Structures are given as C-alpha cells and as structure tokens.
Amino acid sequence: MKPYHQIPIKDCGEPLMPIPLDSFSIELPHPYVKLGAEYGDKSPYCLRQGVVQALLEAQFLIEKRHPHWKIRIYDAYRPVGVQQYMVNYTFNSLVKSLELQEEQLSAQQRQDLWNRVYRLWAAPSLDKNMPPPHSTGGAVDVTIINEQGTMLDMGGEIDELSERSHPDYYLSDQDGDNQQYHFNRQLLNRVMTNAGFCRHPGEWWHFSLGDQMWAWQHNQNNPHGRAIARYGRV
C-alpha cells in the first residue's frame, strides 16, 4: 500500500477521450504493445477529458517557449491487465539481466526482486480504492522532443529500474552534461506543473492530475489541503 492510497476517491464521471495525437509526438506501435501487451478495445493513447485539456495546455507552454518543440507521449491510459503484464515483464527482465534462474531463486531473492519492481511499478490491484495511477486515465508518461524531432536527453530512460529515475538525481552534480540533464528534467516539470499536473516523486517522466497521487501531493504541499481524487479506475 502506497501513502497516496489513503486518499479517498469520488469519481467525477469524466469520460476517457482520445488524445489529439497530431498535437504531440508519439511512438507507433505503442512501446508496451511492441512488448506484447494487449489493450483489447481500449487505446493506450487516451486520458480523462480534463487531463487531455491540461496536456494540450502543457504543449502550448512548451511551444510558446520553444517553437516546434513537442511533448512526446510515451504512455497514457493503461488497463489493469496491461499493468499486470508489464509488472511481470519487468520482473522477468530483471531476473534475466542479473543472469539468474527464476526456478532457483530463494524466497528472499524473489522478495528482493519484487521490491525493486514495485519501487517503479504500481501494483496491478483490482481494489477500487487502490487503482494503479495509469488505470484511472489521470496519469501520463512524457518527455520532450526538439524541432529536429530529437528527444531531449534526460540522463535516463523511461521505466529505468535505477536511481537515475529519481527526478533530482543530477541536482548536485557539477558535470556539464549532468547539469543539462537536470535542466531538461526541470523544463519538463515546469511546463507540466504549470498546466496543473504533479510529478511522481520517484520518476522524472510520470505526471498525474486528478488521481490519488495528485491529490496526495497537493495535500503534502498544502498543510491545510483536503483534496480528494476525482478519477478512479476506468
């Protein structure tokens, strides 16, 4: 259970709607579809209506400062079944990268590996009080591309299982390249938060609006805050 799961949910009933993809940059096929995840009749490129509007505002803000730059959407809506698939995929990939054999793992080894997975991935819970953020339509994973269509270097990959995923990993690093990575992350954070999003405290690419994590962060930053989530699982 994550701290933000304590936040109550009162779903506003806002529908999922397609993201107007011509306003953004995307990867086709979708990264998780390429890995074998099945979305059924749902598109990964949809979000709650209010989140789409905020994302368009963020695109306006980045383009106002840097003409022809675009927000690149890596992932948006994610059914719980896809969340389960990616959690399992990440665990299996981690076992392989460490040159381990799953059938030979001790109980402690297995638990340690799952702990690493769940530091990045939300549990694929079907409990309506603890929905994975992406399964609410209120969370989106993004980065930025420049006018040449090149992604800004953030000093780490989206979904990377390492300390580099922390938004402020390069904050105190005096190396020139690493300072640029931090600057790029701050630019992304600034345009997204100015549009109403909150950034995940452990992932530079993950932003939410209206879900439990968003409400929890709002209340953390406002001592008298009483925000609740307006988006539950869809």
CB atoms within 10 A of CB 88: 13
* CA atoms of 214 and 200, how far apart (whole Å): 8
Beta-carbon contacts of 149 under 8 Å, excluding residues fewer than 6 positions away, are: 25
Question: What amino acid positions are annotated as catalytic residues?
Answer: 203
Pseudo-torsion of CA 46, 10, 201, 165, nearest 10°? -30
Can you tell me which residue has the tokens 């959407």? Answer: 73
Question: β-strand 70-75 against 25-26: which pairing, if any?
Answer: parallel
Is there a contact between 17 and 49 (Cβ–Cβ < 8 Å)?
Answer: yes
